[in-house]
Amino acid sequence: MRALVQRVSSASGEVDGRTIGEIGPGLLVLVCAMAGDPENAGEKLAQKISKLRIFRDDQGRMNRSLVDVAGSALIVSQFTLAADTSRGNRPGFSQAASPDEGREKYEEFIDIVRSLGINVETGEFGADMAVSLINDGPVTIWMDTEI
């Protein structure tokens, strides 16, 4: 699985002009299931994200996790994180999981993050969404369970 994690002051997702997920301080997590992901990929990624020390402590250092600050997560499925641009200017997405597998892994990932005690809002799988955010820092981190 791949994820692009952004520390945010707030974030929201809209489909057809209606807000479907909205958070205050926390993380916007754009996530992509990859073809061939091992069974534990969602668990591994969720654990890593929940413990990622990218929130400021009392001295202003990035030393606290999402759990430590009781932040929320807006989790949005984004298959374009699987883009392969090695063969020209038009990206290919053959490395992404199939839509059925992608939905299953996305929903499983959400359940795992919730089980860690994190307040989770979500996007809508496969929808054309408008995602808004106020990036805090900015702090943006690329994560891949293969690395």
Is 78 marked active-site? yes
Query: Which of 6, 55, 59, 79 is labelled catalytic?
Result: 79
Counting Cβ atoms within 10 Å, is residue 40 exposed (0-12), middle (13-18) or buried (19+)? exposed
Query: Which of 6, 55, 78, 109 is labelled catalytic?
Result: 78
Is 93 marked active-site? no
Rounded to a whole number, what is the largest CA-CA distance in the chain?
47
How far is C-alpha 107 from the geometric centre of its chain's CA atoms? 12
**What distance in Å separates the CA atoms of residue 128 and residue 147, rounded to the nearest whole number?**
29
Quote the radius of gyration of the chain (alpha carbons, Å).
15
Query: Which of 80, 122, 140, 145 is labelled catalytic?
Result: 80
Catalytic residues: 78-80
